[in-house]
Structure 1
Amino acid sequence: MVTVRAAGRRGALAAAAMALLVGCGTASAGPVVHRGEVVPVELGALTADDVADAQTAFGIDLLHAVCAQAAGEDVLLSPTSAASALGLLHPAAGGRTAAEFGQVLHLPEWSPDLVAAIRAHTSALDALRYDGDLDDEDAPDALQVSNRLWTVTGLEPEPRYLDDLATAYDAEVRSLDFAEEPEAATDRINSTIAEDTRGIIEELFDQPLRPTTVAVLTNAVHLRARWAVPFTGTQPADFAAPGGEVSVDMMGGATGAGRDAAGWRSVELPYRDGTLAAVAVLPPEGTDPCAVDTATLDALRSAGPREVGVELPRISLEQSHQLLDVLTAMGLPASGDFSALGRDDLVISQVVQKTFLEVDEEGTEAAAASGVVVEESAGAIPQAVVTFDRPFLLLLTDTATRSPLFAAVVRNPSA
């Protein structure tokens, strides 16, 4: 599902978030909050870059799988958000279940080295967090990432598991009464996600979670950044969508670092502070953007840059994805050994992700939230101009680890 939002939505988001938080404050008592201990760790053979590379490989797999079910449609995913939500469950898995999780996420066996690498990756992204007013002209480009484990009242996960979550993902644990108050528990999760995404993702779960819910693992991502070189002019232009040419609002006047490899072209557009970037990727004529692979992205990243002008359509996308079937087809075990959560009879009942992306002349705002539900088993003057006037891929990333924060396939920006 793709919903086009009118420009100017940003101004109402803070008020909407406050309304959500005030409204939920009287619904029920707040959840019990606790967390494991942050254990001292030292980087070994694995680094934050290895975690980002794993997320990119997982993201390409996920993009291919979702694109196969959405032929001719726009696709907006957050590989980092999905990988993080699943990653919160990874250390709870044992034996073959853990091995299958690692294969899907492109991660090695869970170990202190991996915990240290994920912690370094988490810290690198957390360095971009800003809790002030993002509408302030002096506000920095900002990225907020939040990880949480929500457990049914009375569940006692293994201390080692909670320590790994706190150390690797800076994740807190909140207990909710899913069995007796599933609607209030769902509202609490949704309101927290709304807060974490500054009101953009208002409801991660559209329906109350079932009373058989044992645990929910969530990740939320919010990004807001202004272009280093803003677009200075916008006018109607033709865009070669799969169903024929459509008219779009094409922005111009900006510049970026252009690269070419194997017929693919990319332009990296930095944001104002240099800590975040957008990479627009144009495939060869007649090639679907979903055909991109890690080798192509690596080749583009390694190619020598040159300054180019950029013409890019305004983008406004909002989507919701049910990902469990896609992920199980990729090899994710929906059932198995998740005993570190404190129960033996557990299955993954749903994996949901909601995403939002708005790109205009000033910059970019994006948000995503992912949830994994675990239940009882019974329940300057440029040298050239690159015009993105046909389907293309847009990646949002931080410049330190190159994590795939968002990946959008834009086939029809007028939809």
Structure 2
Amino acid sequence: MRDRGHLTFALALHDALAPDRTRSACWSPYSVASALGLLAEAARGRTREELLALLGPGGPELVRESGVGAPAELAVANTLWAADDLPLVDGFLRRLADWPGGAARSAPFADDPEAARALINADVAETTRDLVPQLLQPGSVRADTVSVLVNALYLKTAWVTAFPERATADRPFHTPSGTRPVPTMRVTANARHAARAGWQAVALPAEGGVELVVLLPDGGLGALDGVPEVLDGLEHRRVDLSLPKARLEFSARLGGALRGLGVRAVFGSGADLGALSPDPRLVVGEVVHEAVLRVDEQGLEGAAATAVLTRAAAFRPAPEPLVVRVDRPHLLLVRHARTGAVFFLAQVVSP
């Protein structure tokens, strides 16, 4: 199943990016899978095979089919920024045009790397409604940078049943370092629920075919092995849910994590990006990612961006609602309800 493959990718990379379960983290599997899917379109041979093995069967196609309906807002840009003198393969440009927001643009990498960086950052900021204003940090774009593949994502949607603001109050939350009061929302709504494999899950519907799945472990936040099983068991139920408000920001370099998950060839001298350009020197220098997620009484808002920098190298109602109190570290999974594409995956340790 494509959605299972995508979920496996998301959980594996989450383990690699956020192994410390005592710290909050947030990232976008959708954004990273989009960027890596585009990179796979540019690759051949072993380089391509390693990327597709990580993304899972049908992974790139799944993210491309996960549009949302009104009134939710989803903005996606998939952009190839290339040096003027870099020859590009027409077939790649045709495939890029089939991706959501797919476009190729030029940037003055050799003449003015900082201007190129500013140009890319401004475009990402526009797509993400300024939630990600500086994806590329100073010094990340150099004179030997020849292309940057960028995915930028913005998602905003309202709950089908909003949390009443009058019900929000400070309630105890148990963090690894102690218990403290945090602003906690409460709503009784038609949702989906499951409890199995060491986890309890509540899927709260939002407008546009989006849902937030709250994943609460029976004990501490540890291994994620039971997550696919509890997601498979979701059934419609009326739920009395207490959930802390959340505002999460996270940035990371993904190169080390990707190498650890078997994506190695693209970073080395044997990288084959011949489906992008006939220039044999192309190699990926780094993959950078930034994500922001906000969850409040009205709904959720999130943005993320991923850049691949290439160098010339070197829900059934019950009589009584089920009470779920989210009062300890947990996961938040924002996904497309039909396809299962994971827009955001977060671990909330200290809201």
Q: Secondary structure at the match of 1:143?
A: strand
**Which one of the candidate residues 64, 67, 75 is aligned to 1:122?**
64
Does structure 1 residue 377 correspond to structure 2 residue 319? no
Q: Distance in 2 between matches of 1:241 and 1:331?
A: 34
Q: Distance in 1 between matches of 2:284 and 2:242?
A: 43
1:55 Cα shift? 2.7
Equivalent residue, structure 1, for 2:280:
344
Does structure 1 residue 63 correspond to structure 2 residue 63? no
Equivalent residue, structure 2, for 1:266:
201
Q: Distance in 2 between matches of 1:319 and 1:254?
A: 31
Q: Secondary structure at the match of 1:340?
A: coil
Q: Secondary structure at the match of 1:205?
A: coil
Contact residue 86 and residue 217 of structure 1 kept, 8 A: no
Q: Secondary structure at the match of 1:305?
A: strand
1:278 Cα shift? 0.5
Does structure 1 residue 79 correspond to structure 2 residue 29? yes
Contact residue 397 and residue 403 of structure 1 kept, 8 A: yes
1:118 Cα shift? 4.6
1:168 Cα shift? 4.4
Q: Distance in 1 between matches of 2:197 and 2:4?
A: 21
Equivalent residue, structure 2, for 1:95:
45
Higher relative strand content: 2
1:305 Cα shift? 3.0
**How has the CA–CA distance of structure 1 residues 177 and 159 changed in structure 2, closer, same or farther, with 3 Å as cutoff?**
same
1:253 Cα shift? 2.4
Q: Distance in 2 between matches of 1:274 and 1:141?
A: 5
Q: Distance in 2 between matches of 1:253 and 1:124?
A: 28
1:185 Cα shift? 0.9
**Which one of the candidate residues 196, 201, 224 is aligned to 1:292?**
224
Alignment of 1:1-400 (within 5 A): 50=2, 52-68=3-19, 70-107=20-57, 118=60, 121-125=63-67, 127-128=68-69, 140-208=71-139, 209-232=141-164, 233-255=167-189, 256-271=191-206, 273-288=207-222, 291-293=223-225, 296-333=227-264, 334-335=267-268, 336-342=271-277, 343-378=279-314, 382-400=320-338
Cα deviation 1:167-220 (Å, max 9, x = unaligned): 245511111110001111111100100110111111111214101001101111
Q: Distance in 2 between matches of 1:217 and 1:54?
A: 23
Q: Distance in 2 between matches of 1:254 and 1:82?
A: 34
Q: Secondary structure at the match of 2:297?
A: coil
Q: Secondary structure at the match of 2:218?
A: coil
Q: Distance in 2 between matches of 1:285 and 1:366?
A: 28
Q: Distance in 2 between matches of 1:162 and 1:181?
A: 25
1:123 Cα shift? 4.3
1:106 Cα shift? 1.7
Cα deviation 1:379-398 (Å, max 9, x = unaligned): x8742210110110101112
Q: Distance in 2 between matches of 1:95 and 1:155?
A: 21
Contact residue 253 and residue 288 of structure 2 kept, 8 A: yes
Contact residue 194 and residue 230 of structure 2 kept, 8 A: no
Q: Secondary structure at the match of 2:138?
A: coil
Contact residue 216 and residue 371 of structure 1 kept, 8 A: yes
Q: Distance in 1 between matches of 2:202 and 2:32?
A: 25
Q: Secondary structure at the match of 1:370?
A: strand
Contact residue 230 and residue 254 of structure 1 kept, 8 A: no
Letter in 2 for 1:405: F
**How has the CA–CA distance of structure 1 residues 57 and 351 changed in structure 2, closer, same or farther, with 3 Å as cutoff?**
same
Question: In terms of mean alpha carbon deviation, does 355-364 or 335-344 score higher?
Answer: 335-344
TM-score scaled by structure 1?
Answer: 0.77
Contact residue 274 and residue 399 of structure 1 kept, 8 A: no
Q: Distance in 2 between matches of 1:240 and 1:270?
A: 26
Cα deviation 1:4-63 (Å, max 9, x = unaligned): xxxxxxxxxxxxxxxxxxxxxxxxxxxxxxxxxxxxxxxxxxxxx72x443322111110
Letter in 1 for 2:7: T
Q: Distance in 2 between matches of 1:252 and 1:212?
A: 53
TM-score scaled by structure 2?
Answer: 0.91
Q: Secondary structure at the match of 1:247?
A: strand
1:287 Cα shift? 4.2
1:357 Cα shift? 0.9
Identity fraction in percent: 34
Q: Distance in 2 between matches of 1:366 and 1:248?
A: 21
